[in-house]
């Protein structure tokens, strides 16, 4: 079975450029999460969608970050303009939200370096 698919796996860009990260969740899952991981701060939740609707975006750092989920099988996280402090590994995860349980399945991550 296909897991969560993220692209690109690696991205190196220059400050000020737009970055778009993509995620395809596991088919049938109704919850999708974007996390950012750094050594200093660990895994931070950026945004959570349930049934394609953003439920919690309190973790989105600032207006430079935006996320969309136009349908159940695709989501994007966009950073515009990018800054060096955005360098991190960005993980997408999906789950079947059955109340308060539900294992999160992570993609392999997108490693972003902003120069």
Partner 1 sequence: RKEVEQDPGPFNVPEGATVAFNCTYSNSASQSFFWYRQDCRKEPKLLMSVYSSGNEDGRFTAQLNRASQYISLLIRDSKLSDSATYLCVVNLAPGGYQKVTFGIGTKLQVIP
Binding site for partner 1 (CB under 8 A): 31, 33, 35, 41-43, 45, 48, 50, 55-56, 91, 95, 97, 99-104, 106-109
Q: Whose Cβ is closer to partner 1: residue 3's or residue 84's? A: 3
Residue 39 CA from chain centroid, whole number = 17
Q: Whose Cβ is closer to partner 1: residue 7's or residue 81's? A: 7
Q: How far is the CB of 89 from partner 1 (least distance, A)?
A: 9
Q: How far is the CB of 25 from partner 1 (least distance, A)?
A: 14
Residue 55 CA from chain centroid, whole number = 14
Q: Whose Cβ is closer to partner 1: residue 31's or residue 82's? A: 31
CA distance 12 to 23: 18
Q: How far is the CB of 74 from partner 1 (least distance, A)?
A: 19
């Amino acid at each position: 079975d296909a897991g969560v698919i993220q692209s690109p796996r690696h991205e190196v860009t220059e400050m000020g450029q737009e970055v778009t990260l993509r995620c395809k969740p596991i088919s049938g899952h109704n919850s999708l999460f974007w996390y950012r991981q750094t050594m200093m701060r660990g895994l931070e939740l950026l945004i959570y969608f349930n049934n394609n609707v953003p439920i919690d975006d309190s973790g989105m750092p600032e207006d430079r970050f935006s996320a969309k989920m136009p349908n159940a099988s695709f989501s994007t996280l966009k950073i515009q303009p990018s800054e060096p402090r955005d360098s991190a590994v960005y993980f997408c995860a999906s789950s079947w939200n059955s109340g308060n349980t539900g294992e999160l399945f992570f993609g392999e991550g997108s490693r972003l370096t902003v120069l």
